[in-house]
Structure 1
């Protein structure tokens, strides 16, 4: 089974994806890790690379192409990124969207990255707006359209174990036969 976990920065995607992969005995691939590596390689912060990606669409397209290739080639995988649900296309068996209010996400990011909540909030807001514009411009994706997801979960009142337990419960109860008549997500992207 290929499970995608998507959501904005600070929603708990990485933590949940790693723990869910461990629980299910699956591999885990993180688009965020790939993006942060790209930023490090260029001597930039993720926010700086996001800004550069607004004028250099090859940055996003390279990352997204890698995610699509991974999705097409692997099973027993938890694939995690903001667009994993979209990029995995017809290969995804189960799509999860995690979210939390901006204030909660900014606190998490501030703690993780050792910065003030105010700075984290502003950077997170800017980054989200930048990404939403690019997703719309490049692929015609409205990141706020959650209709492709099998599970949408607000993580603000759950600890990481609770998030994983909730996802695992739904995944384990998932009946793919119930997808009959459901139109699969197919998107034709130009990379």
Structure 2
């Protein structure tokens, strides 16, 4: 297996992107780097709690710039699965495989409520507000329309598939890209 692979996994909250990104990293012996972990790394360095950092995000691109530059650094190192909202955009051509996972609001909110131990109504309200804020920020700071899925190699709805089935679909796709990359590099 070609270990210089760079794979970008994005998608809607609650669609399974973190789970799938970790599974891919493990299966292909790649590093796993999430935008969320880079966010927490920044907060620790700047002595900010998560609420302060989230508020700061609304008007100050410094945190976004940090996450973006660290994402690009990790992509340049290779052998990595990047996971987060904008990782496919930030990794650009360095990412051989760009994956977007989606699910219906009903399924996403149910999954998130179970994971976070909150009511579906509370999770729905929080998630929709967060996603609206994020999309506005992505549009204003980057000119990126998050709903534009043209940059992705695969867009997969995870509503009706169990986790292991989603993984098998993604693994097949990545295997094919890896074979193609190996073939091209040997020519």
Q: Which residue of structure 2 aligns with residue 143 of structure 1?
A: 146
> Aligned residues, how many?
176
Residue 151 of structure 1 and its aligned partner are, at CA, apart by 0.8
Q: Distance between the aligned counterparts of 1:30 and 1:118, measured in 2?
A: 27
* Runs of 4+ with deviation above 6 angstroms: none
Q: Which has the higher helix share?
A: 2
Write out per-residue CA displacement over residues 107-161 of structure 1, whole angstroms, 9 at most, x where no aligned residue: 1111111111111111110111111111111111111111100111011111211
The normalised TM-score by structure 2 is 0.86
Between Structure 1 and Structure 2, whose CA radius of gyration is higher? 2
Q: Would you say the 8 A contact 2:74–2:80 is kept in 1?
A: no
Q: Would you say the 8 A contact 2:42–2:66 is kept in 1?
A: no
1:23-38 paired onto structure 2 within 5 Å: 23-36=27-40, 38=42
Q: Which residue of structure 1 aligns with residue 50 of structure 2?
A: 44
3-state SS of paired residue (2:9): strand
Q: Which residue of structure 1 aligns with residue 58 of structure 2?
A: 54
Q: Once superposed, what is the RMSD of the aligned Cα atoms?
A: 2.1
Unaligned runs of 5+ in 2: none
Q: Which residue of structure 2 aligns with residue 68 of structure 1?
A: 72
The normalised TM-score by structure 1 is 0.84
Unaligned runs of 5+ in 1: 180-191
